[in-house]
Amino acid sequence: MNQRLVDAIRAIVGPDGVVVAPDECLVYECDMLVFYKGLPDLVVLPRTTAEVAAVVRACLDAGVPIVPRGSGTGLIGGATAPRGGVMIGVNRMDRILEIDLPNRYAVVEPGVINLALTRAVESRGYFFAPDPSSQMVSSLGGNAATNAGGPHALKYGNAAHHVLGLEVVTGTGEVLTLGGPVQERPGYDLTGLVVGSEGTLGVITKVVVKLTRVAEAVKTALATFESIEAASAAVSAIIAAGIVPAALEALDEPIIRAVEAGVHAGYPTDAKAVLLIELDGPAAEVAVHAEAVDAICRASGALTTRVARDDAERALLWKGRKEAAGAVGRLTNNYVLQDAVVPRSKLPEIMAQIQAIAGAAGLTVANVFHAGDGNLHPMICYDERVPGEFERALQANDEILHACIKLGGTVTGEHGVGLDKAEKLALLFSADDLDAMHAVRSVFDPRGLLNPLKVFPSGTPAHVHAATGAAKPVPAGMWI
Amino acid sequence: MTDRLEAGLIAIVGAEHVRPGASEPAYAVHGRVAPLVAFPGRVAEVSRVLALAWDRRLGVVPAGQGNRLGWGGMPRRMDLVLALARLDRILVHQPADLTMSVEAGATLGAVNRALAPHGQLLPLDPARAARSTIGGLIATAAAGPYRARYGTMRDLLLGVTAVRADGTVIRGGGRVVKNVTGYDIPKLLVGALGTLAVVVEAHLRLHPAPAEERSWLYGFPGPEAALAAAMALADTPVAVSRLELLDRSTLETVGHAEPPDAALAVTIGGVAAAVRAQGERVAEVCVGGGGRVVTLNDRAHPEWWTAVSDSTWPTAPATTLALRIGTRPGDLVKALRGLDAALGDGVARRATAEVLNGVLHAVLEGVPAEATAPLLERIRRGLAPVEGTCVVEHAPAEASGALDFWGSVGPALPAMRRLKAALDEPGLLNPGRFVGGI
- Which residues neighbour A299 within 8 Å (Cβ) at sequence distance 6 or greater? A237
Shortest distance, CA B357 to any CA of chain A (angstroms): 6
- Which residues neighbour B314 within 8 Å (Cβ) at sequence distance 6 or greater? B320, B322, B363, B365, B394
In percent, the amount of chain B with pLDDT more than 70 equals 98
Q: Answer yes or no: is pLDDT of A212 > 80.
A: yes
The number of C-beta contacts closer than 8 angstroms across A and B is 254
Strand partners, A207: A108, A166
pLDDT-derived band at A119 (thresholds 50, 70, 90) equals very high
pLDDT-derived band at A262 (thresholds 50, 70, 90) equals confident
pLDDT in tens, A463-473: 777 777 644 54
Say whether B184 and A196 touch across the interface (CB within 8 A): yes
Say whether B170 and A147 touch across the interface (CB within 8 A): no
Q: How far is Cα B112 from Cα B418, in angstroms, rounded to an integer?
A: 38
Say whether B416 and A153 touch across the interface (CB within 8 A): no
Q: How far is Cα A371 from Cα A376, in angstroms, rounded to an integer?
A: 7
Shortest distance, CA A429 to any CA of chain B (angstroms): 7
Q: How far is Cα A459 from Cα A424, in angstroms, rounded to an integer?
A: 10
Strand partners, A225: A273
Q: Are strands B80-83 and A334-337 parallel, antiparallel or unpaired?
A: unpaired
Shortest distance, CA A467 to any CA of chain B (angstroms): 24
Say whether B389 and A184 touch across the interface (CB within 8 A): yes
Q: Answer yes or no: is pLDDT of B307 > 60.
A: yes
Best residue in B91, B176, B357 to probe A by mutation, most A CBs within 10 Å?
B176
**Closest partner CB to A439 (pick from B274, B415, B423):** B423
Q: What are phi and psi of B81, to 5 degrees?
A: -100, 130
Q: What is the arithmetic mean of pLDDT over B305-319? A: 96
Given this model, what pLDDT does residue A471 score?
43
Sign of the torsion angle spanned by Cα atoms B427, B431, B432, B438: negative
| DSSP H helices in B57-205 | 108-115, 134-140, 147-150, 153-156, 185-189
Given this model, what pLDDT does residue A361 score?
96
Domains, chain A, ranges and CATH? 96-213 (3.30.465.10), 217-327 (3.30.70.2190), 330-425 (3.30.70.2740)
3-state class of A192 per DSSP? helix
From the number of C-beta atoms within 10 Å of its C-beta (0-12, 13-18, 19+), residue A98 rates as: exposed
Nearest CA in chain B to A435: B170
* Chain B residues touching A187 at Cβ < 8 A: 191, 406, 409-410, 412-413, 416, 435
Query: If you compute the radius of gyration of chain B from its CA atoms, what whole number of angstroms results?
Result: 22
Q: Are strands A66-69 and A86-89 parallel, antiparallel or unpaired?
A: parallel
* Chain B residues touching A218 at Cβ < 8 A: none
Say whether B271 and A284 touch across the interface (CB within 8 A): yes
- Which residues neighbour A437 within 8 Å (Cβ) at sequence distance 6 or greater? A429, A456, B182, B183, B185
Q: What is the ipTM of this complex?
A: 0.97
Say whether B274 and A176 touch across the interface (CB within 8 A): no
Shortest distance, CA A272 to any CA of chain B (angstroms): 25
Mean pLDDT value across chain B: 96
Given this model, what pLDDT does residue A463 score?
77
Q: Answer yes or no: is pLDDT of B207 > 90.
A: yes
Q: What is the arithmetic mean of pLDDT over A455-461? A: 89
Q: How far is Cα B276 from Cα B270, in angstroms, rounded to an integer?
A: 9
Q: How far is Cα A76 from Cα A74, in angstroms, rounded to an integer?
A: 6
pLDDT in tens, A410-453: 999 999 999 999 999 999 999 999 999 999 999 999 999 999 99
Say whether B423 and A440 touch across the interface (CB within 8 A): yes
Nearest CA in chain A to B422: A439
Q: What is the arithmetic mean of pLDDT over A180-206? A: 97
**Closest partner CB to A374 (pick from B168, B178, B326):** B178
* Chain B residues touching A240 at Cβ < 8 A: 95-96
Please count the other Cβ atoms lying within 10 Å of the Cβ belonging to residue B237: 16
* Chain A residues touching B207 at Cβ < 8 A: 244
Best residue in B178, B278, B334, B413 to probe A by mutation, most A CBs within 10 Å?
B178
pLDDT in tens, A288-347: 999 999 999 999 999 999 999 999 999 999 999 988 888 888 888 889 989 999 999 999
Domains, chain B, ranges and CATH? 2-83 (3.30.43.10), 91-208 (3.30.465.10), 212-309 (3.30.70.3450), 312-411 (3.30.70.600)
**Closest partner CB to A184 (pick from B180, B326, B406):** B326
pLDDT-derived band at B345 (thresholds 50, 70, 90) equals confident
pLDDT-derived band at A480 (thresholds 50, 70, 90) equals low
pLDDT in tens, A61-81: 999 999 999 999 999 999 999
Any idea which of A351-365, B230-244, B295-309, B369-383 has the lowest mean pLDDT?
A: B295-309
Q: How far is Cα B243 from Cα B230, in angstroms, rounded to an integer?
A: 7
Shortest distance, CA B382 to any CA of chain A (angstroms): 17
Say whether A185 and B407 touch across the interface (CB within 8 A): no
Given this model, what pLDDT does residue B102 score?
98
Say whether B231 and A102 touch across the interface (CB within 8 A): yes
CA B415 vs. chain centroid, Å, equals 24
Contact status, residue A157 vs residue B207, Cβ threshold 8 Å:
no
Q: What is the arithmetic mean of pLDDT over A9-31? A: 94
Say whether B329 and A442 touch across the interface (CB within 8 A): no
Q: How far is Cα B19 from Cα A301, in angstroms, rounded to an integer?
A: 60
- Which residues neighbour B119 within 8 Å (Cβ) at sequence distance 6 or greater? A242, B208, B209
**Closest partner CB to A433 (pick from B172, B176, B389):** B172
User: Which DSSP state fits B157?
Assistant: E
pLDDT in tens, A312-326: 999 999 999 988 888
* Chain B residues touching A417 at Cβ < 8 A: 180-182
Element housing A164 (H / E): strand A163-170
Length of chain B as a residue count: 438
Given this model, what pLDDT does residue A475 score?
55
Q: What is the arithmetic mean of pLDDT over B279-298? A: 86
Q: How far is Cα B303 from Cα B293, in angstroms, rounded to an integer?
A: 19
Strand partners, A6: none
**Closest partner CB to A436 (pick from B154, B170, B418):** B170
Best residue in A99, A123, A175, A182 to probe B by mutation, most B CBs within 10 Å?
A182
Q: Which residue, among B80, B72, B83, has the nearest Cα to B105 in the 3D structure?
A: B83
**Closest partner CB to A189 (pick from B175, B187, B407):** B187
Nearest CA in chain A to B238: A282
Say whether B330 and A432 touch across the interface (CB within 8 A): no
Q: Answer yes or no: is pLDDT of A474 > 60.
A: no
pLDDT in tens, B313-327: 999 999 999 999 999
Q: What is the arithmetic mean of pLDDT over B197-212? A: 97
Q: What is the arithmetic mean of pLDDT over A78-93? A: 96
* Chain B residues touching A289 at Cβ < 8 A: 271
**Closest partner CB to B388 (pick from A182, A344, A416):** A182
Given this model, what pLDDT does residue B3 score?
79
Q: What is the arithmetic mean of pLDDT over B61-90? A: 97
Q: What is the arithmetic mean of pLDDT over B191-210? A: 98
Q: State the virtual CA torsion across B281, B286, B289, B294 in degrees, nearest 10.
A: -150
Contact status, residue A13 vs residue A55, Cβ threshold 8 Å:
yes
Given this model, what pLDDT does residue A42 score?
96
* Chain B residues touching A285 at Cβ < 8 A: 270-271, 273-274
CA A46 vs. chain centroid, Å, equals 24
Shortest distance, CA A443 to any CA of chain B (angstroms): 6
Query: If you compute the radius of gyration of chain A from its CA atoms, what whole number of angstroms results?
Result: 22
Given this model, what pLDDT does residue A192 score?
98
pLDDT in tens, A142-169: 999 999 999 999 999 999 999 999 999 9
